[in-house]
């Protein structure tokens, strides 16, 4: 699908959706989805990656300019070695596919978190992809070896390295990994959990949270519609009294 043009997008945004500028996904339930089918957990991650690209296409088709996904947390290193190896190998495939999507769908790929832990080869592939897609329109952030607390500490240290001694919220905000993105509007979590799990802690301060029992590989266009519809019904007051 060609996402290079804004106008006449089928299923495009209505007035209420137009305020949704940044959507994030905690893609939970891959392992359960596979196990329900008598398959190894790794198979769930393969399906989960396919779902992720399908959902990104739908998100950008709706003119939502920025999407962030939680692909690998700082805590995921405690998983069995076999699963970590499968996720690392999937990451290679993911980056190769991302290069196609970058060209076909005008997507700008960015990575948040400390991805250097995946090794020099992966880091080089990531940096090539980020550089080559930098001028593209739709922003897709992939969180890799990411933790929200870690991001805040790194942001604070960057501000301190500039010579600051007292930090403001603005100092932290502009050094976050997501700094070039619009403010976060909506976090979607699949598989029924109701936690942030160390994801986008700073950015989540005024974001809306939406949970669905659907397992991530089953998350489809109808599920996305439901999440966006729920978001449209929310009254966002950002701590004040005035409705949106
Ligand atoms: C959580 O499900 C999912 C993950 C830890 C990985 C998410 C990754 C993808 C969707 C694929 C893209 C991957 C890369 C590396 C780019 P879970 O395994 O915790 O599921 P469970 O709760 O059912 O066990």
Percent of the chain with pLDDT over 70: 91
Q: Is the pLDDT of residue 244 over 90?
A: no
CA 76 to ligand 1: nearest atom: 5
Q: Is the pLDDT of residue 240 over 80?
A: no
What is the pLDDT, as a whole number, of residue 237?
72
The dihedral region occupied by 8, where left means phi > 0, alpha psi between -120 and 50, and beta the remainder, is left
Task: Take residue 148 and report the two structure tokens written for it.
Answer: 């929200």
CA 51 to ligand 1: nearest atom: 10
Please tell me the distance between residue 41's alpha carbon and the centre of ligand 1 in angstroms.
9
Catalytic residue among 4, 30, 54, 76: 76
191 CB less than 6 Å from ligand 1? Answer: yes
Cβ pair 196, 187 in contact under 8 A: yes
28 is catalytic: yes
Q: Is the pLDDT of residue 19 over 90?
A: no
Please tell me the distance between residue 8's alpha carbon and the centre of ligand 1 in angstroms.
34
30 CB less than 6 Å from ligand 1? Answer: yes
> Between residues 71 and 7, which one has the greater pLDDT?
71
Among 28, 36, 115, 198, the mutation site with the greatest number of ligand 1 atoms within 8 A of its Cβ is: 28
Please tell me the distance between residue 166's alpha carbon and the centre of ligand 1 in angstroms.
38
Cβ pair 37, 48 in contact under 8 A: no
What is the pLDDT, as a whole number, of residue 97?
96
Catalytic residue among 2, 4, 8, 28: 28
Please tell me the distance between residue 161's alpha carbon and the centre of ligand 1 in angstroms.
35
pLDDT band, residue 241 (cuts 50/70/90)? low
Domain residue spans of the chain: 22-145+182-233
Q: What is the DSSP letter of 145?
A: S
The per-residue pLDDT for range 88-134, each reduced to its tens digit, is: 999 999 999 999 999 999 999 999 999 999 999 999 999 999 999 99
CATH architecture of 22-145+182-233: 3-Layer(aba) Sandwich (3.40)
Return d(Cα 115, Cα 100) in angstroms, integer: 21
112 CB less than 6 Å from ligand 1? Answer: no
49 CB less than 6 Å from ligand 1? Answer: yes
What does the mean pLDDT of the chain come to? 91
Distances (CA, A) of 240 to 182, 201, 215, 243: 20, 21, 35, 8
Give strand pairing partners of 187.
Answer: 24, 209
Percent of the chain with pLDDT over 90: 88
């Amino acid at each position: 699908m060609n996402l290079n043009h804004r106008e006449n997008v089928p299923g495009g945004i209505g007035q209420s959706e137009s305020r949704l500028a940044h959507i994030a996904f905690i893609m939970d339930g891959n392992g359960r989805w596979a196990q329900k089918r008598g398959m190894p957990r790794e198979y769930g991650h393969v399906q989960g990656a396919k779902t992720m690209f399908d959902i990104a296409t739908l998100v950008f088709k709706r003119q939502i300019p920025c999407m962030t996904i939680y692909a690998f947390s700082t805590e995921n290193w405690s998983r069995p070695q076999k699963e970590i190896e499968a996720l690392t190998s999937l990451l290679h495939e993911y980056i190769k596919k991302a290069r196609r999507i970058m060209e076909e769908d005008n997507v700008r790929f960015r990575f948040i978190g400390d991805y250097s832990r995946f090794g020099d080869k992966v880091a080089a592939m990531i940096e090539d992809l980020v550089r080559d897609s930098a001028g593209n329109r739709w922003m897709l952030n992939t969180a890799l070896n990411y933790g929200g607390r870690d991001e805040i500490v790194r942001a604070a240290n960057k501000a301190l390295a500039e010579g600051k001694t007292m930090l403001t919220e603005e100092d932290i905000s502009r050094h976050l990994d997501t700094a070039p993105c619009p403010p976060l509007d909506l976090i979607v979590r699949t598989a029924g959990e109701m936690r942030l799990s160390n994801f986008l802690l700073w950015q989540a301060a005024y974001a809306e949270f939406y949970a669905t029992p659907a397992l991530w590989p089953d998350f489809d266009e109808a599920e996305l519609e439901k999440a966006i519809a729920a978001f449209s019904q929310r009254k966002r007051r950002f701590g004040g009294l005035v409705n949106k």
